[in-house]
Chain A
Amino acid sequence: MARTQKTDYSYQDLEGLMTLMTGDEKHSFSATSTLDVVWTLYDSILNIDPENPEAPERDRFMLSKGHGPMAYYAVLAAKGFLSVDELREWGTFDSRLGYHPDGELIPAVEIGTGSLGHGLGISVGMSMGLRIRMQDKPRVFCLMGDAELDEGSNFEAIAMAGRQGLENLTVIVIDNNSSSLGWPEGIAKRFETEGWSSTTIDGRDHEDIKTALTQSHPGVPHVVVAKVEAK
């Protein structure tokens, strides 16, 4: 499939790119909640080459919260990892782009997600693998939702990452207040108890996001709780 050569899209173009993908409007809140963090990651943080998205030295980004990937696909297209033309075909039989991402279909997508609570465990394994290989440059980023944290599997992984001191691991929790039972004492506390460092920011403020994602956290994993408007 021919890929677009245009890579000079800006943040302002994302809404238009997202409107090319219709049919999964029930997840539009989920998609838009992640938009600013995903954009900032690909615009300013991640070391990933669209021409070689599987390079060993790349940063790893896991969209654990696989629901509503319109924002993710829009950013990938804006940054040259996907053709914009592909966005129009999403969800169709021959498209690589579904309502939940499939890591086997798209080289730039690390894992297939949609069932919640899988990305962090895999991220912990990747972080440990990089450490075993003594590769200290690649970083592992895992984006989750506050409701996704309801899945108990995450707390197995949060504990392990803390005990292992995985300083190459950063989790971003998009908090749009959609967890059914909520988080008494806040989301960050759940991580801090297991030995993580934490920052809570405005998930729409690109400078805040950039600062939080470049914050040094020697010897411990780091969580960024990115608050956005409630669902």
Chain B
Amino acid sequence: MPATMRDAFIESTGRMLENNPDAVVVLADISNGNFRDAGLVDKYPGRIINCGIREQLMVGVAAGLAKEGFRPVVHSYTPFLLERPYEQIKIDFAHLGLGGIFVSIGGSFDTASSGRTHQAPGDVGLMKLLPDFEIHVPGHADEAAVLLDSAAAEDGRVYVRLSADANAESRLVEPGKFHVERAGSSGAPAVIAVGPMLDRVLEATADLDVTVLYATTVMPFDSWTLRDTGATEIVLVEPYLLGTSASEVSGALHDRPHRLLSLGVRNMELRHYGTAEDHIQAHGLDADGLRENITGFISLA
């Protein structure tokens, strides 16, 4: 079993390279050493391409390879994978109708001590703006393996968001489906915990009558599982910019009067370093902060 989501990524990519002769990896230095240490650079010569610190090129090269029938895996830290070459992703992949797997590391609060330049809490929001991207947010290394293997078996566009922040135990996740972690009474409020937020949500709501849904795929959004709860009070807890999937919640419940509370990373320049826990607390996403917000929201009903 992989120890971290990053380990799961290297292992899953190794399986993909072994099983699919059209699989290629395109990098901009980040993780090149990990692939080398895993023996994959030597085992698959020419199929792990390091562009150096050239992220626009990384995406362009991956698109060119996709045009030639390859299945590219494109990878870097979140801001360098998505934000810097965003137009390349938009034009070279989405506009050209090409498939590829974009895998980030350093999501959520992993890079707290590195500062704002290494953080990209708007990542899922950005990728939502492009058509036909599946977006996976695993909460555990084993789940990352499942979701990455699933992406490898497809031919579309997929974004897989990896983080060091993780839940203690993995769940049996199914790509595209929410997992019903805990069922409340009929019509009880539903709390949607995305990826690594699950453990903190469970701690915060341990004695509350709520249904807890666990989301590891947020695009497409599993509207049916949410609707099936019968809930009209929804709390969305995301490890990135708060409210990123709020429009999907509204869309899922368009014919049902409902209230929504969005909790996540606030859109602000925090200007503090420190640890992941420091940042989780600063955004009110630790168990105490979540409990305070969730109970306050429910009590308004």
Chain A residues close to B by CB (< 8 Å): 102-104, 110-113, 115, 117-118, 120-133, 152-153, 156-157, 159-160
Of all A-B residue pairs in the complex, the 8 with the closest CB atoms, nearest first, are A125-B64, A121-B60, A129-B68, A156-B57, A125-B61, A156-B54, A126-B64, A153-B56
**A153 and B88 within 8 A (CB):** yes
Chain B 59-70 interface mask (CB, 8 Å, partner A; 1/0):
111111111111
The answer to whether the Cβ of B296 comes within 8 Å of any Cβ in the partner chain is no
The answer to whether the Cβ of B97 comes within 8 Å of any Cβ in the partner chain is yes
**A110 and B67 within 8 A (CB):** yes
Chain B residues close to A by CB (< 8 Å): 24, 26, 46-47, 49, 51-52, 54, 56-57, 59-70, 87-88, 91-92, 95-97
Closest to A121 in B: B60
Residues of B within 8 A of A123 (CB): 64
Bound-state Cα–Cα, A16 to B120, Å: 52
Residues of B within 8 A of A160 (CB): 51-52, 54, 57, 61
Taking a contact as CB atoms closer than 8 A, the residue among B57, B66, B87, B88 that contacts A124 in the complex is B57
> What is the distance, in angstroms, from A223's C-beta to the closest C-beta of chain B?
17
Question: Would A121 and B63 be within 8 Å (CB), given that A129-B68, A157-B57 are in contact?
Answer: yes
> What is the distance, in angstroms, from B55's C-beta to the closest C-beta of chain A?
8
Bound-state Cα–Cα, A30 to B91, Å: 21
> What is the distance, in angstroms, from B223's C-beta to the closest C-beta of chain A?
29
Question: Would A159 and B91 be within 8 Å (CB), given that A121-B60, A126-B68, A128-B65 are in contact?
Answer: no
Taking a contact as CB atoms closer than 8 A, the residue among B56, B69, B95 that contacts A129 in the complex is B69
**A104 and B61 within 8 A (CB):** no
Other A-B pairs, 19, CB within 8 Å; known A125-B68, A131-B46, A160-B52: A111-B67, A111-B96, A113-B91, A118-B92, A121-B57, A122-B61, A122-B92, A125-B62, A125-B65, A126-B68, A128-B49, A129-B65, A129-B69, A132-B24, A132-B46, A153-B57, A156-B51, A156-B57, A160-B54
Residues of A within 8 A of B51 (CB): 156, 160
